[in-house]
A and B are shown apart, each in its own frame.
Chain A
Amino acid sequence: MFPPTDRKLNKPLATSSNTEKLQRIKTMKITGYRLENYIQKLDRAIGDSNYPAGDDLMNLSVLWIDTDEGISGIAPAGNGAVASLFHIIEGQDPRGVVGLWKNMVDWVHKGNNEGEVNGAIAAIDIALWDLKAKIADEPLWRTLGAREGRAKAYASDIGYNLSDDELHAFYTRMADVGVDGGKIKVGLNMKDDLRRIGIMNDAFRKVKDRPYLMIDSNEYWSPKQAIRYINQIEEHFDIFWAEEPARRWDYDGLRQVSRGVSAAVASGENLNDIGQMYPLISQQAIDVANVGSGHSGITGARQVSNMCYAYEIPVTLMNCPANFMAPLAASLPNHNMMEVVDPGREGAFDSWDNHIEDGWIVMGNEPGLGIKVNEDKIKAMQAVDHGRAPGSPFPRREGAALWIKDIEPGEVSWK
């Protein structure tokens, strides 16, 4: 095609209707927000080595960010600290989400981007990304530049309370939609853990001869306990990664575990931003990075993922309601597989635009995150009196990193 003969000059996108719309939203502004907190009754109790009994009540929130064009962005997240940050984004163009993220992070400089403020920044950021994609009338995975709206999935029980049969049913349900690996909560009893890993392995064998087997001890061990425990498991099973085998900040210990076992060491989910991930990455303490909206939203999670990309560290995205982070996973060059727990956290939604097919989270073309919130359903959940507060987040279990406190009779449904 040299020299070009039919050069087309740049002109605005073809159709008159959306040209008009695009012109109109050129001056779009954020005008307000709403936050609803509610308690969701889950399909099953969620629990790990710190609290094996788990709990089937969960605190959840939905945040709306409204604009003068009547389009709202939503986040399946949020907390009271949104109120203290809203003035930073009020009146701003929501499409400037990355710049607004920086303004929020800079605003909280002294107290730092941690704790409740971190959660609020994440929620606002997610809602702004939802808005940005909705304004462009496209799914978020496309806004983020992904070629396809899909991300490989793995199944995760978060279910120390599940009986052998329930475990098998859960992983079988996932295997039936093509998922070829799973993660299981471990750490309290070797005999139980080996049996349960075996159940998980069996369930996935119909999809893959050697399923991906991941174990997660949620910071219950010391590094040397982890090395002893994981090595014993590895005599029986080929473990793809061992998650949080030491404290979240213990980069020396995590590295020590990585050098002492065959499995990859995964960690990072309890850290708040790229600055906290820095030592884990630069000291080669982790072989796989657990990344989620907890790393300061979609913007922050993408930063962490890109930093990991420089270090050739694969990224696995954390579980979340309606798999709302899957669009980010689809756009990352170094994402391996995303955690799917599916305990039924979607009671506030009429629909969400993804499903699992052949082991992948397949996203549709609904604009933004693709989640349709039903406020009546939220009101209905808010009206229910459960008579108690959800147990999550769980306290750290006695004996952690010191000795192993076995599961006591009656503590879980199966013992």
Chain B
Amino acid sequence: MKITGYAISLYEFPLNRRMGDANSPSGRIRGSSNVLELFTDEGLTGVSFGGGGAGPQIKSMVEGMLMGEDPRHVTGLWKRMVDRAFKAGHDGVINDAIAVLDVALWDLKAKANDEPLWKTLGGSNPKVHAYASGLDQPLSDDGIEDWYGMMADDWGFKGGKLKVGLDQDADLRRIGRMKKGLERATDTPLLYIDANEVWNPKMAVRKVREMEEQFDIAWVEEPARRWDFLGLRRISDQIKAPVCAGENLDSLGDFLPYFHNRSADVVQVSHGMTGITCALQLADAAYGFELPITLGGSPGNLNAQLAPSIPNFLTLEAQNATPDDGVMTSDIKIVDGWAVCGDQPGTGVSFDPEALAKQQVVTVTASAGPSPFGRRPGAGLWDNPPTKEEAAAAASGVDGEHYVPAHGSKTQ
């Protein structure tokens, strides 16, 4: 089997709820993605999502290296791609390109065997522990309880992850509301919180310890900067909850200081990291350190396909129970709070060509593009709760406006 060509197709879609975190409390209402198709001479097509900003890098990798190669040789090809990016390092857009290509190659490898990816990877049980993740900073208190209540009622989720960090009293309140929503499915919901690097270590210790007087927190995600392995370790030493970190790291090597200093109690692998190949390497390394792996949000919850072959797998982030963008289709179903991989060959995540044609764009509009919010002013320094304008934008829901505060003002 040989790779014969590729295509990339950008598309946009409205979100089903406002999404944001401590860095973007007004949230966003539109999203965008990219379909990569990798064609072969056998008529099979590898599909993956993401890497929308990495068009030139994808082109260079495919035309300069992958054309004519057998996609079943994916780990060898991964090595060649990573080695090709040697000098500048495999991070940034080149990393996105490698990741999206690697996923498409794995999709092809599984399709060539006419089996779902979880089987190709050697998994024996397609049922994967999952939790609901609202990216819910813009939601109101009622909105929080409603959304997690819906995820518990309709899909059986027994764990949820709340965005926190800007306003301690609001966070204490909102954790309670998330808990109440999830209690529709279980008496003992798993309560995760995520600060998205908006604190410094001591801010994190103060706030989390106060939260822990009221709640049993299942993990605290990114309570300090991604590279601050000593700070993360310090936080872990001073709180009860595990520290979860890693989603903004790019490669296996980036995790070394975490391992070496036991900075993260839960190792988080994001979909944007250097592909499935790298995620499996990282999972093995973490396994050696007796550290659990959690897989971050992914298109159509595709990451569920990896979990059955990861012995130290903890739980999967589900930002939606089903694809919500009108284009994507997924064979990964949420059943009673578990993500269950199906029998469809490959990753099981694909697209509806007609819907793609309708929603396809040549360039992505700003409001649907990469985050315009940046890091929030005051992050790691002082408390900077949502401004009136941000709160109003958040309250306007998906029918409201895309509001990006101007940087440089006193509080924003």
A binds B: yes
> In the complex, which residues of chain B have a beta carbon less than 8 angstroms from the beta carbon of A307?
284-285, 287-289
Q: From A18, which residue of chain B is reached at the shortest CB distance?
A: B114
B9 touches A145 (CB 8 A): no
Query: Is the beta-carbon distance between B39 and A275 smaller than 8 angstroms?
Result: no
The reply to whether B111 and A310 form a contact with Cβ atoms under 8 Å apart is: no
For the complex, give the distance between the alpha carbons of A31 and B26 in Å. Answer: 58
Min CB gap B356→A, angstroms: 9
The listed residue (B69, B75, B114, B122) touching A22 by CB distance below 8 A is: B114
Report the interface size for chain A: residues with CB under 8 A from the other chain.
58
Scoring B residues 268 to 303 as 1 if CB is less than 8 Å from chain A, else 0, what string do you get?
Answer: 000000000100111111011110000000000000
Scan B118-137; emit 1 where CB is below 8 A from any A CB, else 0.
Answer: 01111111000000000000
| Interface stretch (choices B87-95, B139-147, B254-262) | B254-262
Q: Is A35 in contact with chain B by the CB < 8 A criterion?
A: no
Is residue A97 contacting chain B, with contact meaning CB distance below 8 A? yes
Do the beta carbons of A309 and B285 come within 8 Å of each other?
yes
CB of B23 within 8 Å of the partner chain: no
Is A102 in contact with B311, judged by CB distance below 8 angstroms? Answer: yes
Min distance, Cβ A276 to any Cβ of chain B, angstroms? 10
Q: Enumerate B29-86 residues with CB–CB distance to A below 8 Å.
A: 37, 39, 42-45, 47, 69-70, 72-80, 82
Known: A11-B43, A310-B259. A146 touches B290 (CB 8 A): no
Q: Within the complex, which residue of B43, B122, B282, B360 is in contact with A310, where a contact is CB–CB below 8 Å?
A: B282
Chain B CB within 10 A, most for which of A23, A98, A144, A312 = A98
Question: Does A393 lie at the interface of the complex (its beta carbon under 8 Å from any beta carbon of B)?
Answer: no
Contact partner of A1 (CB less than 8 A), chosen from B7, B311, B350, is: B7
Is A306 in contact with B122, judged by CB distance below 8 angstroms? Answer: no
A19-B114, A312-B253 known, 11 other contacts, Cβ within 8 Å: A10-B350, A23-B114, A95-B119, A98-B308, A100-B124, A136-B113, A145-B75, A146-B75, A147-B75, A299-B122, A305-B284
Could you list 26 examples of A-B contacts with CB < 8 Å? A1-B5, A1-B8, A4-B7, A10-B350, A13-B114, A19-B114, A26-B343, A92-B124, A93-B124, A95-B119, A98-B121, A99-B123, A101-B311, A102-B124, A103-B124, A105-B311, A136-B112, A145-B109, A147-B69, A306-B283, A307-B284, A307-B285, A307-B287, A310-B252, A310-B282, A333-B78
**Interface of A with B (CB < 8 Å)?**
1-4, 7-14, 19, 22-23, 26, 92-93, 95-103, 105, 132, 135-136, 138, 142, 144-148, 274-275, 277-278, 281-282, 299, 302-307, 309-312, 330-331, 333
Give 8 closest A-B pairs by Cβ, nearest first. A147-B76, A99-B124, A96-B124, A98-B122, A145-B75, A306-B284, A4-B7, A307-B288
